[in-house]
Amino acid sequence: MKKEIKESPIIFSGDMINAILTGKKTQTRRVIKNPLCPYGEKGDRMWVRESCYIHNHPNEREPNGTVYYVADIGLGKGGKATPSIYMPRWASRINLEINGVFVERLKNISTTDAIAEGILEWKGNVNIITQNIDGTIPITQFHLLWDSINEKRGFGWDSNPLVWVIEFKVINIKGR
């Protein structure tokens, strides 16, 4: 019997959207809150939610507006942005397919995996050009990025939570 493909939304920040668009982000880590991965399993799909501006529509639920993405044009340049959590399905431009899902402790991330997380695209308070020969800089950058998103929620790097590691590939991007 053919498996039914599940489709779930997933939120990414602007920097991570850009890393996906350039093909540099192929993994994401999410804190485990339930025994089943809420994004699915191998072969399932995820549609990306990102902050955007939706113009020329009477109702955000109807696919008849023009969408501008904050990752492309920045904040404040298109009026009041729709936060990623409220992005309607029809406005999503990026669809991903899950290649694999596994569980690990956050701090077990390898340099290769930190790079697959798109970390060299992150422009936080870290010099993204310098990389030590031993490869520690991508992991340090990932640590800082992780804490900027998760520490105030109680899942900082030092707590070393169990995470879902979701490997994915882009299956299509609207407009490309």
pTM of the shown model:
0.85
Q: What value does the mean pLDDT of the chain take?
A: 86
Model confidence at 78, pLDDT cuts 50, 70, 90, reads low
Q: Domain 1-7+12-48+98-176 carries which CATH code?
A: 2.30.130
Mean pLDDT for the stretch of residues 127-151 = 72
Whether 4 shows a pLDDT value over 80: the answer reads: yes
In this prediction, residue 154 carries a pLDDT of 96
- With contact defined as beta carbons under 8 Å apart, do 98 and 166 qualify? yes
Mean pLDDT of 6-32: 95
* Token pair belonging to 155: 């899942």
If pLDDT is split at 50, 70 and 90, which confidence band does 135 have?
Answer: very low
Kindly list the distances between the CA atom of residue 34 and the CA atoms of 56, 108, 159, in Å, as whole numbers in the listed order. 39, 20, 18
Which residues lie closer than 8 Å to 58 by C-beta, 6 or more apart?
64
- 49-72 pLDDT tens trace: 999 988 765 555 566 678 889 999
14 C-beta neighbours (distance < 10 Å), count: 17
Portion of the chain with pLDDT greater than 70, in percent = 84
User: What pLDDT score does 174 carry?
Assistant: 87
Q: Map tokens 């609207």 to a residue.
A: 174
144-155 pLDDT tens trace? 889 999 999 999
pLDDT attached to residue 3: 82
pLDDT beyond 50 at 121: no
From-to residues of CATH 2.30.130 in the chain? 1-7+12-48+98-176
